[in-house]
Amino acid sequence: MADVPDQLVLKVARDREGRRDVLFRRTAFTAILILLVLGLLNLFGQRPQTSTVDHPAATLELTAPSRVRGGLYYEARFRVDAIRELKKASLVLDSGWIEGTTINTIEPSPISEGSRDGDLVFELGHVPGGQEYVLYLQLQVNPTNVGRHSHDVQLYDGEELLASLDRTQTVFP
Amino acid sequence: MDIVIRAAVMFVFVWLVTRAVGRRELSTLEPVDLILLIVIGDLIQQGVTQNDFSVTGAFLAVGTIAAMTVFFSYASFRFPRLGPIIEGDPVILVEHGEPLMRNLKRNRITLEELAAQARLTAQIAHIRDLEWAVLETSGQISFIPKQT
């Protein structure tokens, strides 16, 4: 009967004593599966969520993903339902919207853009009562912009604050 | 700095994936295995370099992968107890002409595959003519025929 090949120990190589390779493999594979399931459950983005805030004068609705990954393109849709006439409507976006993010398109173009205490201001102008105004932003996440960012949005009519949405966006690497 | 961290994280993740899927899948070129091997390289490149098209970025990414390879290799060499964790260890599949079904099953190798490998790589027609068959850490099977 031939000898056992050099450097092989039968208890290990044949009987697998003290070896947990199958357990390790299954654990690693389970971890990968859990990662996939979490991905399907939108833990890593980029499924959009809709947030709404009501005011007697207007309703502000934002549809955008709250979780995204570096490099992704996504859309943020702001819908203003004017219940009464808004003479000088404007949206104020927290600086977290623009930090480390590229704005590819804003449609329709606001009447003007500005800055208020470091936040981004889009002036929408006159919105008649009973009408809705929808603003689309096409954005891209810069890959180095990892972390949590404030994505608050406020709707003003002139200097009057009508509605405020508190949101946070998480950017995964 | 980010690119170094991304490359190191991807290295560890790909190592974990390769350990999870099993060594046979990485050494054979069956259609399903081929998909894994081709796709894995393409996908990790995007995750590591992302929008960085610079030569500096490539230096950093390749350097990190090279350093991680040496580090894993050295750890396995310097601390033998880590060897089975990092690279796995050989598994005997056939002993004195008898296939060890438990080990074959644990490595998802059928008798047909074993016989095919014996014919292909060692020109041995019958499993009973094998003294040893060992699944090596590379995923290849070495065959030692019986002495006549």
pLDDT tens profile A161-171: 999 999 999 99
What's the pLDDT tens digit per position in A62-97? Answer: 999 999 998 899 999 999 999 999 999 999 999 999
Q: Is this prediction's pTM over 0.90?
A: no
Query: In the prediction, which pLDDT does B27 show?
Result: 66
Task: Provide the pLDDT confidence category of residue B45 given band limits of 50, 70 and 90.
Answer: confident
Element (H, E) at A11: helix A10-13
A120 vs A144, residue with greater confidence: A120
Mean pLDDT of A143-155: 93
A173 touches chain B (CB under 8 A): yes
- CB contact at 8 A, A53 and A166: no
Task: Write b or e for each residue in B37-63: b if 16 or more Cβ atoms lie within 10 A of its Cβ, otherwise e.
Answer: eeeeeeebeebbbbebeeeebeebbee
Query: In the prediction, which pLDDT does A73 show?
Result: 94
Query: In the prediction, which pLDDT does B19 show?
Result: 85
> Among A6, A10, A29, which would you mutate to test the B interface (most chain B Cβ atoms within 10 Å of its Cβ)?
A29
For chain A, what are the domain ranges?
A: 10-40, 48-172
B92 touches chain A (CB under 8 A): yes
Task: Provide the pLDDT confidence category of residue B31 given band limits of 50, 70 and 90.
Answer: confident
A2 touches chain B (CB under 8 A): yes
Name the residue of chain A whose CA is nearest to B9's CA: A173
Alpha-carbon span B49 to B44, nearest angstrom: 9
ipTM for the whole predicted complex goes beyond 0.85:
no
Region for B108 from its dihedrals, namely left if φ exceeds 0, alpha if ψ lies in -120 to 50, beta otherwise: left
Structural tokens at position B100: 């060890």
Helical H segments across chain B, by residue range:
2-21, 23-27, 31-49, 55-78, 83-86, 101-106, 111-122
Structural tokens at position B69: 């390879």
Taking alpha carbons only, the member of A79, A93, A91 closest to residue A139 is A93
The SS3 call for residue B137 is: coil
| CATH topology assigned to domain A48-172 | Immunoglobulin-like (2.60.40)
Average pLDDT, chain A: 92
> Among B13, B100, B102, B132, which would you mutate to test the A interface (most chain A Cβ atoms within 10 Å of its Cβ)?
B132
